[in-house]
A = this chain, B = another copy of it.
Amino acid sequence: MFELGVVYRSIRRAERTAADGLGAFGSTTVHEAQGRVGLLRPYMRPIYPGARVSGTAVTVLLQPGDNWMMHVVAEQIQPGDIVVAAVTAECSDGFFGDLLATSFQARGARGLVIDGGCRDVRDLQAMGFPVWSRAISSKGTIKATLGSVNISVVCAGAYITPGDVIVADDDGVVVVPAASAPQTLAAAVQREALEADKRARFAAGVLGLDMYKMREPLEEAGLRYIDGPPPR
């Protein structure tokens, strides 16, 4: 950790079936399926609505206002990867635009998660290359200082190791450790099955109070029902 100026070329990617399969469930279900951990801070927003992807993380640590390492990480991308970019200090500059996206997409990347800014939004949407970022900004960057590629990073408050699974959509971005991706996928499948049943019952008018048998614990906790109107 904390190592600058280094590129790791051999990372252990999460099992492909799990990495691909998790995308179908979206960030919210996956976040729940792994016990409500692994969520990046909610300031990370998609630059255009409607995208949902999953893939294996290749990571890059950038210096503020400097996107030199973006070209270094491009070479490490394999099909099915999602690039995860952390920055050593808060910075909203536009580290990434349509040229780099063309390069990343040609290498097989499915998207970018960056704790900084992004630009060329219109082009990226036209290309179908989704980005989750903390800002949108035309501000360009220089190429002067080394960061690192494929070290573990902290991105938007989450600790991400190269090879972990990233799931991102309109709700946000979740990281699943490579080792636990298969069981998280299994848990997500199971959760989704349960939810389908619950959804049908909710749609039929059943209340959560009854479905989840909450009336008794609520009463025990002291909840009181009053038939008159509330005081002003």
Contact = CB atoms under 8 A, between A and B. Distances in A.
B140 A31 contact: yes
Interface SS of chain A: loop
A128 interface: no
Contact of A28 (B138, B180, B206, B221): B138
A177 B231 CA distance: 14
Interface residues of A, number: 113
A139 to B, nearest CB: 5
Interface string A126-144: 0000000001111110111
A100 interface: yes
A221 B162 contact: no
Given A157-B157, A225-B9, A88 B214 contact: no
Contacts of A143: 214
A22 to B, nearest CB: 13
Interface in A85-107: 88-94, 97-100, 102-103, 105-107
Contact of A7 (B63, B65, B99, B223): B223
A28 B120 contact: yes
Contact of A222 (B5, B195, B202): B5
A207 to B, nearest CB: 5
Given A39-B138, A138-B172, A142-B144, A212 B71 contact: yes
B39 A137 contact: yes
Nearest to A48: B49
Nearest to A47: B170
A89 B89 contact: no
Contacts of A214: 68, 71-72, 143
9 contacts: A2-B37, A7-B226, A28-B97, A28-B120, A64-B93, A68-B214, A71-B208, A138-B171, A154-B157
